[in-house]
Structure 1
């Protein structure tokens, strides 16, 4: 039973990694949209394209509207991935409960702490499942806080600092020995 839970936890962590990569790409896409906004908002940049006076502003507005729609679409897709990441965290929480239940109501400390051959001890398996949940749960909270601040009206410098924090989250897994061990069990 515990081996099944651990296998599911490894799969959940793999799903997290895939979704995280997708969310990073969408945040980067949002940054690309932000970079285009200053040039698109200046009607003077359309002077060579316009036939009539005042047409520059019309072109600027039309392109800004399309870019704003693109930004909105990226944010919608990012929020969809965030919901999927939240689903992974809920699954990991259930797996933690299942892992603890697999140990039994009053497990013998000597039995659960003893490694079974070259594999992890039952206690180490439970710890790895719990740590992967903690890591993803905490990272999800951070990601939600960052995504809530994203706006087409934000300064690009602020976006860059938020993007750096958002993208760095994946490295948290490398600092948790038990999570690294869990990943290696795949």
Structure 2
């Protein structure tokens, strides 16, 4: 099902076979990078952070694929994204939180639960210990919220330059990081 959705997304943009192949290879490398990062983290290896780029590569690829797409019905688009992202996330939390209260009640608080339910753990960083790997859910939600704005602004060629400059400033000047 995932592949057919990806395939139809690629075909609707007129992306050629070679570009589609390059995207698939980048996704495979990003997946490998995430797996290696987690394996190295499990052994407290300092080189794990060299492979921490995988999630960001997935976000960039998704942004590229969504960036060219013309979305006519924003209500329907947000509704499907909400179902796809938030409902499984909440079900996961509903399965995890009782275990925390039973086995490690001192490691969980109401404020931490609220941070997770509202999907702010990747922004405020005050999430439940052991679930910090869910930071990317907040980032995905922010990307979904930014999509209509970026789609509107893409008409202006200067937007690409402004986005690039802000991204570089974020990386080099502001050094905004998501704590993992």
The normalised TM-score by structure 2 is: 0.34
Q: Which one has more relative contact order, counting CA pairs under 8 Å at least 6 apart?
A: 1
Larger gyration radius, structure 1 or structure 2:
1
TM-score, with structure 1 as normaliser: 0.33
